């Protein structure tokens, strides 16, 4: 029976085969999550629409009856919150749907606000302060869903780094123009990057977190490469990690 010493190619084959299995398993689970999420969003959206319609009727009735300003304000808040929840579900549905690549002009600031609205839910649940500093009118050309996935992966890593952490839990996101480039910085106040992370962050299946497949940053870099963009990572001053994403800017 051949051994690894007798046939070193066998060891490489088995290792690659195991990696392929892990990738396929991650894709399968991702598909199942997408399917279940779509069904759940459909079920959740219906009562939200009903709440919105009732809120509209209530606002109209309160206005007719001359209700107090406070009562009318509460009813309007219900309408605003339900609108926000319905809009959030629509964004999630678009993110989870499988579509052909659509290359178009993208306002990165608007895209970042959409990503932040979803990330804010997770941050609030983990007592994480998420701050944005977004310059307006920073346009590039690319696929919206792919770029959303890439930026979400970086932001998700920052949230994971702070989940359950002691001390301040802060994430700072800055978007600014620099001539023909657009720079996006995502920094957290976590433990930062270890020496063993250097050179491996963007490798497929490399992860330091239990229960993760190590596809997020690899996929992020692949997407950015396809958009002629770059990503670098370093330790922030004091503590935490900082990722810098650089995109080509559309000035036309």
pLDDT reported for residue 2: 45
User: Is 215 within the bounds of a domain?
Assistant: yes
What residue has token string 């309408």?
79
User: Is 119 within the bounds of a domain?
Assistant: yes
Question: Has residue 167 got a pLDDT over 90?
Answer: no
Percent of the chain scoring above 90 in pLDDT: 28
pLDDT reported for residue 200: 60
Residue 17 pLDDT grade (very low, low, confident, very high; cuts 50, 70, 90):
low
| 107/165 same-domain check | yes
User: What torsion, rounded to 10 degrees, do the Cα atoms 199, 203, 206, 207 define?
Assistant: 80
Domain boundary among 96, 115, 140: 96
Burial of 79 (0-12, 13-18, 19+ CB in 10 A): middle
pLDDT in tens, 36-57: 556 666 677 788 888 889 989 9
The least confident of 2-16, 44-58, 90-104 is 2-16
Higher pLDDT, 47 or 247: 247
Burial of 195 (0-12, 13-18, 19+ CB in 10 A): exposed
Number of domains in the chain: 2
User: Is 198 within the bounds of a domain?
Assistant: yes
Range of the domain at 133: 103-248
pLDDT reported for residue 37: 58
Question: Has residue 210 got a pLDDT over 70?
Answer: no
Reported as half-sphere exposure (CB side, CA atoms, 13 A), residue 45 has a value of 14
Residue 3 pLDDT grade (very low, low, confident, very high; cuts 50, 70, 90):
very low
| 91/196 same-domain check | no
Per the CB < 8 A criterion, the answer to whether 196 and 167 are in contact is: no
| 116/77 same-domain check | no
Question: Has residue 5 got a pLDDT over 70?
Answer: no
CA 169, CA 171: separation in Å to the nearest integer?
7
pLDDT in tens, 18-27: 555 555 555 5
- Mean pLDDT (the chain) is 78
pLDDT reported for residue 10: 45
| 38/75 same-domain check | yes
- Say which CATH number the domain at 178 has: 3.30.565.10
Domain boundary among 96, 128, 147: 96
User: Is 91 within the bounds of a domain?
Assistant: yes
| 88/107 same-domain check | no
Which DSSP symbol is given to 216? Answer: H
Residue 81 pLDDT grade (very low, low, confident, very high; cuts 50, 70, 90):
confident
Higher pLDDT, 54 or 11: 54
Residue 117 pLDDT grade (very low, low, confident, very high; cuts 50, 70, 90):
confident
Residue 163 pLDDT grade (very low, low, confident, very high; cuts 50, 70, 90):
confident
Per the CB < 8 A criterion, the answer to whether 134 and 244 are in contact is: no
Q: Strands, DSSP E only, in the chain? A: 103-107, 129-134, 139-143, 170-178, 181-188, 230-235, 241-248
């Amino acid at each position: 029976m051949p051994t690894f010493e007798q046939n070193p190619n066998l060891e490489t084959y088995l290792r690659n085969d195991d990696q392929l299995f892990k990738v396929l398993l991650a894709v399968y689970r991702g598909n199942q999550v997408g399917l279940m999420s779509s069904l759940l969003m459909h079920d959740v959206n219906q009562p939200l629409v009903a709440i919105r319609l009732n809120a509209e009727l209530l606002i109209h009735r309160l206005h007719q009856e001359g209700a107090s300003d406070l009562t009318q304000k509460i009813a309007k808040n219900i309408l605003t919150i339900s609108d926000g929840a319905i809009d959030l579900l629509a964004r999630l549905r678009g993110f989870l749907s499988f579509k052909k690549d659509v290359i178009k002009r993208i306002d990165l600031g608007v895209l970042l606000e959409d990503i932040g609205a979803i990330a804010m839910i997770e941050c609030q649940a983990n007592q994480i302060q998420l701050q944005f500093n977004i310059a307006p009118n920073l346009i590039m050309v690319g696929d919206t869903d792919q770029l959303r996935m890439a930026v979400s992966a970086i932001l998700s890593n920052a949230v994971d780094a702070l989940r359950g952490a002691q001390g301040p839990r802060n994430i700072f996101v800055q978007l600014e123009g620099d001539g023909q480039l657009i720079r996006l910085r995502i920094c957290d106040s976590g433990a930062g990057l270890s020496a063993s992370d250097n050179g491996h962050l963007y490798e497929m299946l490399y992860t330091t977190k239990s229960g993760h497949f190590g596809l997020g940053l690899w996929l992020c870099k692949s997407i950015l490469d396809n958009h002629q963009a770059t990503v670098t990572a370093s330790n922030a001053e004091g503590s935490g990690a900082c990722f810098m994403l650089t995109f080509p800017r559309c000035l036309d």
